[in-house]
Amino acid sequence: MTRPFGRDILVEMTALVRLRERGSSAFRLQVPSLRVHAGEFVALVGDSGSGKSTLLDLLALVLRPTEAGTFRMRNGSEETDLMALWRSGREGALARIRRERLGYVLQTGGLLPFLSVRGNLELPLRMNGRRDDGSVADAARRMGIADHLDSRPDRLSGGERQRVAVLRALLHRPALVLADEPTAAVDKSRARAIVADFRTVAQALGTAIVMVTHDLDLVRTVADTTYRCTLGAVTPGLVEAVCERA
């Protein structure tokens, strides 16, 4: 019998493995234990190729774990066994969780160029069958982009585009936002400002964040919990990475 979630645990995985094979070479990621609590800012740090983005894709439910002792998520008082959904091929249930419970911020922002900033921000609301109740303008003010709501993304600076991307991931109030190096394309001072604003708005909405970065200094004073992914050759043809709490 699995033990019940702690009151504020949102996602939990234990003894999780993802194996990727290509020809005569293979990459294996191991996650002995990872927990994300409601409203928490979690940083995944490590060198390039150490499995950070792979772990983020596992959390995003776009990669299936090869095996796992535990992989589950809480939605209010309801617990969902994510590994059981993968094993039974319940793609519809996984897609619904991705749409309703998760937000995602790409390195490049991923804004749709043919939509205004407002249109980009309203998109996740529409996908979940909701209308803007004024939260778009309110959140845009908090992120310092209210003056750009009617602009197209190509009229914004790199930092402004990333703020829009961050806000778009948060607006449908997901339980968890996953961010893959969201400040890689901006300078250090803008990166710090974006991360600080990201945390502030997420806290106001009660959203947890898992953010991938190679720059520990960027998140050192912001992250509640840090997991470090390390890379090492195990045997010829097999490279193994392990992500553990720092």
Q: Given this model, what pLDDT does residue 114 score?
A: 92
| pLDDT tops 60 at residue 25 | yes
Q: Given this model, what pLDDT does residue 2 score?
A: 47
Q: Is 177 left (phi over 0), alpha (psi -120 to 50) or beta?
A: beta
Q: Given this model, what pLDDT does residue 6 score?
A: 55
Closest CA to 241 of 17, 11, 33: 17
Q: Which domains does the chain have, with CATH numbers?
A: 9-245 (3.40.50.300)
Residue 73 is inside which H or E element, if any?
Answer: strand 70-75
Q: Given this model, what pLDDT does residue 178 score?
A: 95
| 62-118 residue pLDDT tens | 999 999 999 999 877 789 999 999 999 999 999 999 988 999 888 766 888 899 999
Phi, psi for residue 144 in degrees, rounded to 5? 75, 25
pTM score: 0.88
pLDDT (mean) for 188-214? 85
Name the range with the highest mean pLDDT among 56-70, 175-189, 232-246: 56-70
Secondary structure of 186-204 as H, E, C letters: CCHHHHHHHHHHHHHHHHH
| pLDDT tops 70 at residue 1 | no
Q: Given this model, what pLDDT does residue 7 score?
A: 57
Q: Given this model, what pLDDT does residue 5 score?
A: 53
Q: What is the CA radius of gyration of the chain?
A: 18
pLDDT (mean) for 211-225? 90
Q: Given this model, what pLDDT does residue 167 score?
A: 87
| 128-159 residue pLDDT tens | 778 777 778 888 887 788 899 999 999 988 88
Q: Given this model, what pLDDT does residue 127 score?
A: 82
Q: Given this model, what pLDDT does residue 135 score?
A: 78
CA dihedral in degrees (74, 210, 85, 172; nearest 10)?
70
The span from the CA of 123 to the CA of 179, in Å, is 18
| pLDDT tops 90 at residue 236 | no
